[in-house]
A and B are shown apart, each in its own frame.
Chain A
């Protein structure tokens, strides 16, 4: 379960961004992240790891919003895009296996919401 170390890195980055805006980490109300099916990151384990970290570090718990992305590839042969339903990496148009993942391997920090009244630089 590598989600613990990934979540620790996420929280450190959120804190850094808050600091960069002269905001207190306590003012963070929501953290929104995106997880793709090919990220190798399990959303449920991320949630568990986040709760555990907030407890351990006695952080005021900002909500963690997780958006799930779909798995999409772009064909290197016919250039059409396909949304995959499983992990068969084939173009939906020409069935070529020469495809590039354009969505689905994300583990991204999308946004941070600060509480009303927070002053930010």
Chain B
């Protein structure tokens, strides 16, 4: 016999002779709730938050550089960059937009408290878009809600088209897949159709966009998609 422990921490539950408390609680429930609160706050201020995830070297920073180049000053944009140790990615983006480096000190993924610290160091302005460049890793970042409206996974043509099947959680939890380094596709054994097919077996509704950040290929499509998604967020916000 056991008693059920509710989500409320303050409620004391009498214990039955077995001395086993049934709890049945999501271990990350506090983090999820905090992320949801922050997401709602961003929605209210009209800031569309994008969490960029991929393996190391898939081109997250290059995609952001191309995005900033394309938009110029069209939207107020800020970037939080997660990295294990250096500030190199942040340095690449500073010429374009306000950037705050989040150094995890060896940690393999970003968590919400670190994102909140980074936010506090950004200029105190309202942004239209906030990009969070996660640590390069297709495993751990999948389990951490950073309050984003959109999770975007990058898959580069140089890393092989078998990634979706190997890292199902990451592709299942992403809304958009960007196939990067398309300029190299003719030179490598990467099959875009196969990768798309594999990803859609995991997440049927995922959007797929092919880009080459170095040559601004597909960047207009990507930027338009972001603007549309932000508009959808704004219009849904208007509904009471």
Contacts and interface: CB of A to CB of B under 8 A. Distances in A.
A79 interface: no
A56 interface: no
A21 B142 contact: no
Given A10-B27, A21-B15, A121-B12, A97 B201 contact: yes
Given A39-B143, A40-B142, A98 B204 contact: yes
Interface in B1-56: 2, 5, 9-10, 12-13, 15, 18-28, 30-31
A93 to B, nearest CB: 16
A60 to B, nearest CB: 16
Nearest to B23: A109
A21 B15 CA distance: 9
Interface residues of B, number: 39
A118 interface: yes
Given A20-B9, A20-B12, A21-B12, A111 B22 contact: yes
Contacts, number: 105
Interface string A17-58: 100110000000010010000111100000000000000000
Nearest to A121: B12
Interface stretch (B153-161, B165-173, B187-195, B212-220): B165-173
Interface in A56-103: 87-90, 97-98, 101
A121 B143 CA distance: 35
Contact of A110 (B22, B109, B169): B22
A17 B15 CA distance: 12
B111 A5 contact: yes
B143 A41 contact: yes
Given A2-B144, A116-B19, A106 B108 contact: no
Nearest to A10: B27
The 8 closest A-B pairs by CB, nearest first: A97-B204, A87-B168, A40-B143, A2-B140, A114-B19, A120-B15, A113-B20, A40-B169
29 contacts: A1-B140, A2-B144, A5-B107, A13-B25, A17-B5, A20-B12, A21-B12, A21-B13, A21-B15, A40-B139, A40-B143, A87-B172, A87-B202, A88-B202, A97-B204, A97-B205, A98-B204, A106-B26, A107-B27, A108-B24, A109-B24, A110-B22, A110-B24, A111-B2, A111-B20, A111-B24, A112-B23, A113-B18, A114-B19
